[in-house]
Chains A and B, each alone.
Chain A
Amino acid sequence: MAAEALGWWGVPLGILAGTLRGSAPFLFVSLGECLTEKSGKINLGLEGTLLTGAMSAYAVSYLLQDKVGSALSPWIGVLVAGCAGMVLGFIHAWLSQQPKVNDIAVGIAMIIFGSGIAFFFGKPFIQPQAPQLPTIDLGGWSSIPAIQSALKISPLFILGVLIAPLMFWFFKSTRWGLFVRAVGDSPDAALAMGVSIPKVRMLCIIAGSFLAGIGGACLSLYYPGLWSESISSGQGLMAVALVIFARWNPIQCLWASLFFGGAQAIGPALQSVGIEQGRYLFNATPYILTLLIMVITCSPKKTLSGAPGALGTISG
């Protein structure tokens, strides 16, 4: 990045650019987790889903570039990433609804399994360069290259920004949204309404995992735009905390994702102006932030406002 030329102005610009780039995976994965948790289950395994999505999107984009051209192949990659996520989501949904099986434990197992699958099949794709998703350049008005490169925005990010209000509307105003809320809040009421709890949860978890898979595609096909085994570094796990922070509200998931993307960009932005001291501690910012938020917002006296009632109960 040419931020050095801007001196100290490079820091806020770097953070802005990092926010716009880095928040896309957070956005998809947190919207996915939001949908899952609204139905009363937690999916910790989205970390594995994110990795599998990133790997499959990258692999498909690379393998198909000669057959369908490098303009189309990344988009097929995005779709495949979503479908790979759905497969993992199905396993999670089926297993976590067995009697006496804890959904958090299933999540941990799915992290190990999902990352195992991603690393196993992703090994050959660490070196080659796959075609990337196109970007929308919003920085054309500026003559400064740093600003131009900072405002290259992914269409996936815009898609995510659109999904957030759509999901809000879905929960608030549609019949299906009501079913999901009923299943998550009060399974008894849902039963009385004649809604099949397992089916609703199955669909929600699978759809949520689809979104998380696309979040993975954001990582490997947009920013940082490569496939490596350390690419997600816990973003799928942070999604769980992010949803708590956003109080299970899709619109607030959007703000929370931007916030986390920004927190993640502080370290590299400071590094670009030569502040190297403690850069590893800065890398820990999102995790420390998440923990602090949880400490502040949780209370032993009452359950969190907005939390689905059946969340965290085993049989619920």
Chain B
Amino acid sequence: MALSRSNWRSTAEVIVIPIAALFVALVLFGIFCAFLGKNPFAIYGAIYKTAFGNWRSFQGTLLRAAPLMLTSLCTALPARLGLMIIGNEGALVMGGIGATIAGLLLSYGSLLPSPDQVQNLLGLPPLSVQLGMALGGIVFGGIWIAIVGALRHYRAVNETISSLLMNYIAIAFLNHLVEGPMKDPASLNKPSSFPIPEAYRLGNIDSTRIHYGLIYGIIACLIAYFLIQHTTFGFAARTAGGNVKAARIAGLPVGKLTVIICFLAGSCAGLAGMVEVAAVQGQANASLVAGYGYAGILVAFVARYNPLAAIVVATLLGGIINSGGALQRSFNMPDATVLVFQGLVFLVVLYSESLYGRLKIFKEPEVKATPPAASTAVPV
């Protein structure tokens, strides 16, 4: 998104339209609140205060932003190929399962450790166990979405619907594991796997509540951005996304590209699952299904599939999710309020999609034909 004299208008368009869309969504949500007899300004104030008001509350926002950054890549990367994948939640769940399996095997040597094994850990260095868990998350989540990509390429199965169905399959699989083969008998009310030992979990960045998952998220977004914008691989993917026939004629291996991109996408969401297990829950259970996958789709959309913008958008949305609890407590509003707000944002952002290239102020003066900025070249 390099700023040069020739394309500043289209750059402005890419920045102004999403911000205006968010603003319109805020106004609509305000009308919704006013309609229910709540003071919208008091609600905005509370959202701002609990999300970004001070360092302590901002930490809570960043906590929630971390998995969103990772799950948004699950939609954003395949979008470069023209694929619309919404299996983020399932890939997150599978990643959580993979991380738990790796974590238990590396620390106890068994998925169902006996009391004896619990006492005597294998004693691997924490970093290697954490890397093992990350690998487990990456492989499980990656394969999950790679299946979607392979089905798309080799059987022409609609990737949106198959990935959606696989969300439900992954959740059922998780429930099966924590109720049966992997159940810790001590977890009565909330069936869970055995816990990962404290020493092997992802710790907090010093003296904050923020865990290292945030670093994972930011690094993944940076790598994804570099991969898409500055490598031949990314160029090939964007070419195939622009025109499959042209890509085939140019000799690009479209099938391989599809499967690899889908694997990378799934592995990012899988990593989010690993972070949830290794830093937040400490074990696999139904709490993994917290809606971060679906919210990640929204992040990818608002960021227009740009991994750098996803960092910013994930932080904004993390703030909104973070403020949900406060709305519930101080305004006596149901927890679904945040869902209504997300839905409104999503709808308005989609509408704003149709405004690109239609507004006069962003039109380049007719001097010479300039190629559009790279970040706007995404077909939707």
Q: Which residues of the partner chain B approach A295 to less than 8 Å between Cβ atoms?
A: 151, 155, 157
Q: Which residues of B contact A44 (CB under 8 A)?
A: 160, 164
Q: Which of B156, B338, B347, B358 contacts A95 (CB 8 A)?
A: B347
Instruction: Tell me if A294 counts as interface (CB < 8 A to partner B).
Output: yes
Q: How far is the CA of A202 from the CA of B169 in the complex (A)?
A: 33
8 interchain pairs (CB within 8 A)?
A: A95-B350, A105-B84, A108-B297, A112-B339, A112-B342, A119-B339, A298-B156, A300-B153
Option from A99, A113, A299 in Cβ contact (under 8 Å) with B343: A113
Query: A182 to chain B: closest CB distance in Å?
Result: 24
Which single member of B155, B168, B334, B353 contacts A287 (CB below 8 Å)? Answer: B168
Near A by CB (< 8 A), chain B positions 118-159 give 151, 153-158
B156 touches A288 (CB 8 A): no
- The chain A residue sitting closest to B168, CB to CB, is A287
> Does B173 lie within 8 Å of A116, measured CB to CB?
no
Q: Is A284 an interface residue, CB under 8 A from the partner?
A: yes
A278 to chain B, nearest CB (A): 6
**Interface size bucket, B side?**
35 or more
Total number of residue pairs linking A and B with CB closer than 8 Å: 139
* Complexed CA–CA distance, A119 and B154 (Å): 39
Q: Assess the A291–B342 pair: CB atoms within 8 A.
A: no
* Residue interface bits A78-98, CB-to-B below 8 A is 1, else 0: 000000000000010001001
Determine whether the beta carbon of A120 is less than 8 Å from that of B337.
yes
Q: B176–A281 contact, CB under 8 A?
A: yes
Interface residues on chain A, number (Cβ under 8 Å): 47
Known: A104-B84, A120-B337. A112 touches B175 (CB 8 A): no
The answer to whether B342 touches A241 (Cβ under 8 A) is no
Which of A99, A109, A240, A288 makes the CB contact (< 8 A) with B347?
A109
The SS class assigned to the A binding surface is helix
Q: What chain A residues lie within 8 Å of B294 (beta carbons)?
A: 108, 112
Give the residues in chain A near B377, CB-CB below 8 Å.
none
Taking a contact as CB atoms under 8 Å apart, the answer to whether B180 and A116 are in contact is: no
Residues of B within 8 A of A300 (CB): 153-156
Residues of B within 8 A of A240 (CB): 161
Is A172 an interface residue when CB atoms closer than 8 A count as contact? Answer: no
In chain B, positions 177-213 with a C-beta closer than 8 Å to chain A are 179-180
Chain B residues with Cβ under 8 A from A294's Cβ?
A: 151, 157-158, 161-162
Interface string of A270-290 (1 = CB under 8 A from B): 000000011011011001101
Please name the 9 residue pairs, one residue from A and one from B, whose CB atoms are nearest each other, closest first: A113-B343, A116-B339, A119-B336, A284-B172, A109-B346, A116-B340, A280-B176, A98-B354, A280-B175
Partner of B380, one of A102, A115, A117, A288: A102
Asked whether B176 lies within 8 Å of A120 as measured between CB atoms, the reply is no
Most chain B beta carbons < 10 A, residue from A100, A110, A117, A123 = A100
Task: Verify if A114 is at the interface (C-beta below 8 Å from B).
Answer: yes
Contact A104 B347 (CB under 8 A): no
Q: Which of B255-309 contact A (CB under 8 A)?
A: 294, 297-298, 301
**A105 contacts B380, CB within 8 Å?**
yes
Which B residue sits closest to A303, measured CB to CB?
B156
A87 smallest CB distance to B (angstroms): 13
* Cβ of A237 under 8 Å from chain B: yes
Closest to B337 in A: A120
B220 within 8 Å of A (CB atoms): no
Residue ID in chain A nearest B36 by CB atoms: A120
Q: Which residues of B contact A280 (CB under 8 A)?
A: 172-173, 175-176, 179-180
Closest A residue to B171 by CB, please name it.
Answer: A284
Tell me whether B165 and A99 are in contact (CB under 8 A).
no
Tell me, yes or no, whether A5 is within 8 Å of chain B by CB. no
Query: Residue-by-residue, is A111-129 near B (CB-CB < 8 Å gives 1, otherwise 0)?
Result: 0111111111001000000
Interface of B, helix, strand, loop or mixed by DSSP: helix
Nearest-neighbour CB distance to chain A for B71, whole angstroms, equals 14
Q: Does A139 contact B (CB under 8 A)?
A: no
B352 to chain A, nearest CB (A): 10
Tell me which of B153, B172, B343, B358 contacts A112 (CB under 8 A).
Answer: B343
Tell me how far the C-beta of B149 lies from the nearest C-beta in chain A, rounded to whole angstroms.
13
Cβ-based interface call for A31 (8 A): no
Q: Given the complex of chains A and B, what is the CA–CA distance between A87 and B341 in angstroms?
A: 18
- Are B339 and A104 within 8 A (Cβ)? no
Among A109, A120, A123, A283: residue with most chain B CB under 10 A: A109
Cross-chain contact B176 with A105 (CB below 8 angstroms): no
Measured between beta carbons, the chain B residues less than 8 angstroms from A101 are: 350-351, 353-354, 380
Q: How far is the CA of A299 from the CA of B179 in the complex (A)?
A: 37
A225 at the interface (CB under 8 A from B): no
Query: Looking at A101, A116, A290, which has the most chain B CB atoms within 10 Å of its CB?
Result: A116
CB distance from B371 to the nearest CB of A (A): 19
B356 CB contacts on chain A under 8 angstroms: 100
- The reply to whether A298 and B160 form a contact with Cβ atoms under 8 Å apart is no
- Expressed in whole angstroms, the minimum distance between the Cβ of B156 and any Cβ of chain A is 4
Whether the pair B172, A283 counts as a contact (CB closer than 8 A) is yes
Residues of B close to A234: CB separation below 8 A: 164-165, 168
15 A-B pairs besides A112-B298, A115-B336 with CB distance below 8 A are: A100-B353, A105-B84, A108-B297, A112-B339, A112-B343, A113-B343, A116-B340, A116-B341, A123-B334, A280-B179, A281-B176, A287-B172, A291-B157, A300-B153, A312-B158
